[in-house]
Amino acid sequence: MSKPGLFITFEGIDGSGKSTQAKRLAAHLQSQGRDVVLTREPGGSTGAEEIRALVLQGDPERWSAETEILLFTAARRDHLERTINPALAAGKVVICDRFADSTRMYQGLSRGDLRPVVDTLHSLMIGREPDLTLLIDMDPELGLSRALSRQTADERFEAFGAGLQAQMRRGFLDLAAEFPDRFRVIDGNQPLDQVTADVLTTVQSALS
């Protein structure tokens, strides 16, 4: 019998090491013979990558908070239809660097309390949660310094600074408490290899 698909997401503040850990987890599962799709948000499909450029580059003030929620949700819907759902239906493991929890945090909290709008749109247009969410939790100052040490075009949210990082960290920990069945919190302040070891142990126990 073929193995069922598994949907794993990584969440956390900017610079927490999600992308690095997502790549390492993908390589590990592939070495065990699992068919893996490594993807990211915003993005992960042709249309969603186009929307990524709209939300992460250019003058952020050209979008109202509500329009921004619609753009992130539109990108997610396309990603789900074209990349995530087909891969899960084919029994693959989908590893996604950020998903709907990021919208709950960044769009739900950073420009006023818009979480109810985010949740309503989510249930209308997305309607699914990951099987497992790994929250890489870490000191906000350290995360910011790591994120700023990289030069990328997608600088929109890094510009919000340490205050937003601290608010997002608290928010992500609250989300982990809100969805305890699927969230696992990993200590991202540790050396890279130790974080990877914790990620692999956590995923292994979820797979079994």
Q: Which residues contact ligand Z5A by CB under 6 A?
A: 12, 14-20, 41-42, 56, 72, 98, 102-103, 106-107, 146-147, 154, 157, 188, 191-192, 195
Rounded least distance, CB 155 to ligand Z5A, Å: 8
CA distances from 22 to 26, 27, 32, 119, 203 (A): 6, 9, 16, 26, 11
Instruction: Identify which of 32, 36, 75 has the alpha carbon closest to the alpha carbon of residue 55.
Output: 75
Classify residue 22 as exposed, middle or buried by CB count within 10 Å of its CB (0-12, 13-18, 19+): buried
The residue type found at 64 is: S
Rounded least distance, CB 102 to ligand Z5A, Å: 4
The 8-class DSSP code of residue 103 comes to I
Rounded least distance, CB 5 to ligand Z5A, Å: 21
Rounded least distance, CB 33 to ligand Z5A, Å: 25
Rounded least distance, CB 2 to ligand Z5A, Å: 30
Task: Name the residue with the smallest CB distance to ligand Z5A.
Answer: 17
Contact between residue 11 and residue 95 where contact means Cβ atoms under 8 Å apart: no
Contact between residue 16 and residue 188 where contact means Cβ atoms under 8 Å apart: yes
Q: Which is nearer to ligand Z5A, 4 or 57 (CB)?
A: 57
Q: Which is nearer to ligand Z5A, 4 or 187 (CB)?
A: 187
Q: Which is nearer to ligand Z5A, 124 or 192 (CB)?
A: 192
The 8-class DSSP code of residue 60 comes to G
Q: Which is nearer to ligand Z5A, 33 or 62 (CB)?
A: 62
Q: Which is nearer to ligand Z5A, 87 or 165 (CB)?
A: 165
Measure the CA–CA gap between 132 and 9, rounded to whole angstroms: 6
